[in-house]
Amino acid sequence: MKLRFKNFLGNKFVKGGLVFTLANIFVSLFNYLFNSLSAKALGPQGYGEIAAFFAYLVIVSVPLGIISTLIIQKLGSVGENRAVYALSFDLWFRSRIRKWWFLFLLPILAIPLVPRITNLSLVASIGLSSIISITMLTGVYIALIQGLQLFTTFSLLSVSQTLIKLVGALLVFWKLGNLSTIIFFIVVGNVTTYVLARMRITRLQSAFSAFKHITFDNRIVHILQRKQTIIAVCSLISITLLSNADIIFVKKFFDPVDAGLYGVWSLFAKIIMYIAGPLISVLFIFFADSQEKRMHGKLLVAVTAIFLLGTLCSFAVYQLYGNILLSLIASKAYSPVLTYLPMAALFGGLYGLITIYNNYFIAQNNKGALINTFTVPLYIASLFLFGHTLEKVIWVNIYYGMFVVSITWVWLLASSKE
């Protein structure tokens, strides 16, 4: 028994999960403070701008997320050769940067068009375009670090980036800046993350000074034609739309105050993602690791049970202590949100489960990853057909979440019998 416990603690995913959990305490705290201070300092209208800013950022970063997912997936499948594969990919990527440098200027050149398309302010549009250019570089290195299972490095990068972002919100809360200050520090945080991530991979390169490079001679078109890539692309696009389409919809078609109110509601809904974010990252790496395949199904069931329990607890807490929580995170200006606060717990739990299931299917190269792809058009259509008020938008989210979770378990049960 003692030996089993020792082996359990010695497992790299257990140790990595512990590091992630510790880092997540700080990241969640910093994110809570960032959103709380931003909401209080900027008011509903200004916070609506911040919420929409991050929603657009996530959506336009989908291609980078796809690349990151494929990198993590590939490094998990090559087993003990992952270091050589990662370092070879780094060398190839650097050569591509030198050849395709002009691609990184395209988001900057698009700045004049962004406010018209997104309804964002010019300041937020400049920040959005700048971060897109930076994350075109950062995303690859973060994926390599995750795929190499450098849990401590990834945790430190997450903490440092969130802390830098928090500095901007603090300055605005102390009346030493405005929206542009927050946007500036978000950009600085992304630049810092890129520099530190690249330094970490470079240091690893020096540790493996003599290794046989792997040649990457597949063209992008050939990669995109693979079934694995097509499934990952469609799946990540759909899960990203689910996470952000409602915020963009409200920002585009509702008044600025309503956009801010909905942004706070969405924040409450996704608090569970702040708490479980590192766990979800570890789970994807775990599900992508072919050496741990026998444990995948059991772990998925256990995580589902934990999320459902957490959702029920969150619903009760939001119902009983909504006033206190709202005063801690925002202010009285957001009091209309109290009516819908318990429903935020329901959608948050459903969205968390959908994200985990989606990651599971992608890591397993399972066609179940396309469930969201085929159903998300129904979700978007429902927003336009029924989302005439904030309450109706919220119910569209909840009904869709229940629908997808139900379909997913039907798929899982059907697959297990084959």
Q: What is the pLDDT of residues 83-142, one digit of tens each?
A: 777 777 777 787 778 888 788 888 888 889 988 888 889 999 999 999 999 988 888 888
Residue 285 has pLDDT above 80, yes or no: no
Residues 9, 231: Cα–Cα separation, whole Å: 35
Q: What is the pLDDT of residue 417?
A: 66
Q: Do 116 and 150 reside in the same domain of the chain?
A: yes
Question: What is the per-residue DSSP string for 310-344?
Answer: HHHHHHHHHHHHHHHHHHHHS-GGGGGGGGGHHHH
Given 217, 251, 276, the domain boundary residue is: 217
pTM of the entire predicted model: 0.77
Kindly state whether residues 42 and 174 are assigned to the same domain: yes
Q: Residue 5 falls within a domain, yes or no?
A: no
The reported pLDDT for the residue numbered 5 is: 44
229 or 102: whose pLDDT is higher? 102
Residue 278 shares a structural domain with residue 210: no
Residue 78 is predicted with a pLDDT of 65
Same domain, 109 and 244: no
Asked, for residue 7, whether it belongs to a domain, the answer is no
Residue pair 340/265 in contact (Cβ under 8 Å)? The answer is: yes
Interval 255-273 mean pLDDT = 89
Domain identity same for 47 and 150: yes
Question: What distance in Å separates the CA atoms of residue 26 and residue 75, rounded to the nearest whole number?
Answer: 28
Among 190, 217, 244, where does a domain finish?
Answer: 217
* pLDDT score of 186 more than 90: yes
The reply to whether 181 falls in a domain is: yes
**Same-domain status, 121 and 168:** yes
Total tally of structural domains belonging to the chain: 2
Q: What is the mean pLDDT of the chain?
A: 83
- 327 lies in some domain: yes
- Tell whether the model's pLDDT for residue 8 goes beyond 90: no
Same domain, 102 and 243: no
Q: Is the dihedral of CA 405, 410, 416, 418 positive or negative?
A: negative
Tokens 């396309």: give the residue: 370
User: pLDDT value at position 184?
Assistant: 96
Q: Where is pLDDT greater, at 108 or 210? A: 108
Instruction: Tell me, yes or no, whether 145 and 31 share the same domain.
Output: yes
Collapsing DSSP states into helix, strand and coil, what is residue 135? helix
Out of 166, 182, 217, a domain closes at 217
Residue 223 lies in a domain: no
Residues 41-82 pLDDT 10s = 999 989 999 999 999 988 888 777 777 777 776 776 666 677
Given the structure tokens 């993350």, which residue do they identify? 193
Query: Going along 273-389, which residue ranges are E strands?
Result: none
In a domain, 341, yes or no: yes
Q: What is the DSSP string of 66-89?
A: HHHHHHHHHHHHSGGGHHHHHHHH
Same domain assignment for residues 212 and 143: yes
Distance CA(69)–CA(92), nearest Å, equals: 18
Mean pLDDT for 169-183 is 93
> In this structure, how many other beta carbons lie within 10 angstroms of the beta carbon of residue 217?
7
pLDDT per position as a tens digit, 301-322: 888 898 899 899 999 999 999 8
**What's the domain range around 417?**
234-418
Q: In this structure, are 328 and 198 located in the same domain?
A: no
Provide the total of helices (H) and of strands (E) in the chain, helices listed first. 17, 0
| Same domain (yes/no): 276, 169 | no
Is the distance from CB of 41 to CB of 181 less than 8 angstroms?
Answer: no
Q: Are the beta carbons of 155 and 20 closer than 8 angstroms?
A: yes
315 plus 388 within the same structural domain: yes
Q: Is residue 146 part of a domain?
A: yes
Is residue 220 predicted with pLDDT exceeding 50?
no
